[in-house]
Structure 1
Amino acid sequence: MLRAFLRSAAARARSRSPRPAPDDDVLLDAPDDRLAPALVAAARGEHGPAAGLLSGTRENAEWDHRDRYTTRLAAFARSRSEWLDTWRATDPDDPDAQLVAARLTVDRHWYSPARTELLRQVIPSVVAAAEAAGPVDPVPWRTALDAARGARAPHAEFERLWEQAVRRSPHHYGSHVAALEYLADASPVAHGECLDFAETAAQDAPEDALLRALPLRAAFTCLTATGASADGASVRTYRPRLDDAADRATALSAAHPVADPWAAELRNLLVYVLVRLERHREAAEQLRLTGPYVTSFPWERDAADPDPLGRFLQVRADVRAHLETGSH
């Protein structure tokens, strides 16, 4: 991880050229300039920079950043938790420490064969932490929504948590993703309902909000549903809406700088959807814009190849091959 941090700045500078990054320069889940120092400090057992980072996102109401940074810090704590343990022991009432701890708890149970039962057991404590976080922060409620989804909570219970999240921030991307995935899990063939939900949320969001990309996430859900394929009947039915979702996300991508780590997940997901829709020339442009930054999502969701970096490189090679043969 430390080597990736050191390579990140040089790779970022090189990627501002229109030439694609070589395979050796590609970075998987590289942190941005705000998160990297917090992770480096956590590797040394120090929690101060992480505390400062999350405190700043809370005070400035940067909910999408707060959500993503919390997820990344919790992921780091899964293997190296000393810094978080010290933080919680030093200041057990710190809402940011409680937020990371709640996210870590949900993540640890998520991949367990007993996930449903384990998450049912922790929902009360996760909800209690969210209630203690105050009246403005939606991110603890996003964590509660994920726990409820994993626990297969009844619709009424999930809706109660959803109301708490959107009351705090009606345009928080993470809460909407949790609701979209809950809807998709409840009815795997409910593509129309998922697209309706995502399009309505995106339409009401500010122009530069990450929530504008929610239809792209719904398109991904449609394309990866069991039995779905780019030329399948269900996809053909919704093809105009899938194309529109990709167009919306392309416009949002254009608002970010080239080789921007923050926009990397959006652009990786957009590449995935564009390739599945056989829009290879536009996928190539997004590959150029993303530079060396590869994100585990969506590539880790490909059951045929659980190696996200390898899958990305293969898709990138396939896009180049399409362009060389004159395909669109």
Structure 2
Amino acid sequence: MFRTMSLLRALIGTSRLVRHTPRLLAALPPDDDVLLDPPDGRLAPALVAAALDDPEPAAKLLATTRDAAEWEDRDRYTTRLSTFAYRRDGWLEHWLAVAPQDPDALLVKAQLAVRRAWESPARAERLRELGPLIEAAAEAAPNDPVPWRLALDHARGTHASHTVFESLWEQAVRRAPHHYGSHVAALKYLSAQCCAPRGDAPRTPCGSHRECFDFAEQAAEDALPGSLVQALPVRAAFTLLIAGPGPGRPVCGERIDAAADRALALSAEYPAGDLWPGEVRNLLVHVLVERGRWTEALAEFGRIGPHASTFPWSLVADDPLRGFLEARSRTVREVARRTPLRAVPPEPYGAGPGDADRGGRSGPGGHYA
């Protein structure tokens, strides 16, 4: 009898997959149309020019963000430009040769240097050598919070004390109290404290997942309407999920689900297919998949559309794009398998004709992973 029931359940599940999967897939962009980290309308021309060793569009773009205090855009573009320079830096060298004290060139240079040092086996040593470079970028643009976000990343890599962290955090929020990038950098510092083995990094009273959640939730409560800082708790949830179970790592299921609920509400404020909250949506959908919230994950894949992001998939898969597509395929299968044969499966929130990227939009933005 038990074997018969198992076979019947398997047959019903297979029938549901066959019936519902094609309809669900048809509502999502085809795999071949999904792009990893597509640039928005402002960044794309700068990247094209950089490929031709012309730094002028990048210089104008970053100068515009600095003059207009578009700190989220500035942070995002700095990170993307440094990522391009990581593989091809002739245009940046040319820019620095022509304008060695340009605050925007110095910022990209510092971001690139930190990335290269971070990948070195002698990470902490290499990073410590970069302190003057980050200070130069901060001094060149006194009102800019992005160098201070970079300083927070630097503090994490050098295992700086909590006292040092607090002084850098104060400088960052003094310039932009709601800067998403600085909040992410602070949470990453605190999370590193949580996950570091004893003796590998300084352990402070903040060094627990509970206090990481406390920091993220308080920041979300204080955030401006529509700010991506509201999604900080789901980032804390992701960190806890990838850390896995262990001493000092409680499951915190209710807290993780509450963080996902908050991020879902934020995502719903933006049009489907919008590049602006794209990284947050990718992060959120991973958490939803891990929590087995399949219908909500499917809706979020619909909102993401064809815009996958390197983060968080690079941390859970060797190939970020493949990791995204496999999670999406799994979600489709799970929703199909759970939908009764005669029922209509839920449709993803697909991008409509009016949805487009918000290149140039000032407001809450993203941050490198």
Contact 1:300 1:307 in 2 (8 A): yes
Partner residue, 2:326 = 314
Letter in 2 for 1:323: V
Kindly state the Cα deviation for residue 307 of structure 1 after the two structures are TM-superposed: 0.9
Contact 1:18 1:288 in 2 (8 A): no
Partner residue, 1:248 = 262
- In 2, the alpha carbon distance for the partners of 1:71 and 1:264 equals 15
Alignment of 1:35-184 (within 5 A): 35-134=43-142, 136-184=143-191
- Matched length: 304
Kindly state the Cα deviation for residue 148 of structure 1 after the two structures are TM-superposed: 1.5
**48 and 119 in structure 1: CA distance in 2 versus 1, 3 angstrom threshold:** same
**74 and 174 in structure 1: CA distance in 2 versus 1, 3 angstrom threshold:** same
Residue deviations 1:175-227 (CA, integer Å, cap 9, x gap): 11111111111122722111100011111111111111111111111111143
Kindly state the Cα deviation for residue 79 of structure 1 after the two structures are TM-superposed: 1.1
- In 2, the alpha carbon distance for the partners of 1:250 and 1:65 equals 22
**Are 2:330 and 1:323 aligned?**
no
Paired residue secondary structure (1:78): helix
Partner residue, 1:284 = 298
**178 and 233 in structure 1: CA distance in 2 versus 1, 3 angstrom threshold:** closer
Paired residue secondary structure (1:187): helix
- Please report the RMSD computed on the Cα atoms of aligned residues, expressed in angstroms: 1.8
Unaligned runs of 5+ residues in structure 1 are 1-16
- In 2, the alpha carbon distance for the partners of 1:32 and 1:227 equals 38
Q: Comparing 149-158 with 17-26, which one deviates more in the overlay?
A: 17-26
Residue deviations 1:139-189 (CA, integer Å, cap 9, x gap): 011111111111111222222111111110111111111111111111227
Alignment of 1:291-310 (within 5 A): 291-302=305-316, 305-310=317-322
Unaligned runs of 5+ residues in structure 2 are 1-24, 196-206, 340-345, 347-369
- Name the TM-score, length of structure 1 as normaliser: 0.89
Match of 1:205 among 215, 220, 223: 223
- Name the TM-score, length of structure 2 as normaliser: 0.79
Partner residue, 2:12 = none
Alignment of 1:269-280 (within 5 A): 269-280=283-294
Contact 1:123 1:148 in 2 (8 A): no
Contact 1:130 1:144 in 2 (8 A): no
Give the greater-gyration-radius structure (CA).
2
- In 1, the alpha carbon distance for the partners of 2:245 and 2:72 equals 32
Greater relative contact order, per chain length (Cα 8 Å cut-off, separation 6+): 2
After superposing on structure 2, the runs of 4+ consecutive aligned residues of structure 1 that deviate more than 2 Å are none
Q: Which has the higher helix share?
A: 1
Partner residue, 2:235 = 217
Partner residue, 1:187 = 194
Residue identity (%)? 56
**249 and 124 in structure 1: CA distance in 2 versus 1, 3 angstrom threshold:** same
Letter in 2 for 1:165: A
**Are 2:22 and 1:22 aligned?**
no
Partner residue, 1:11 = none
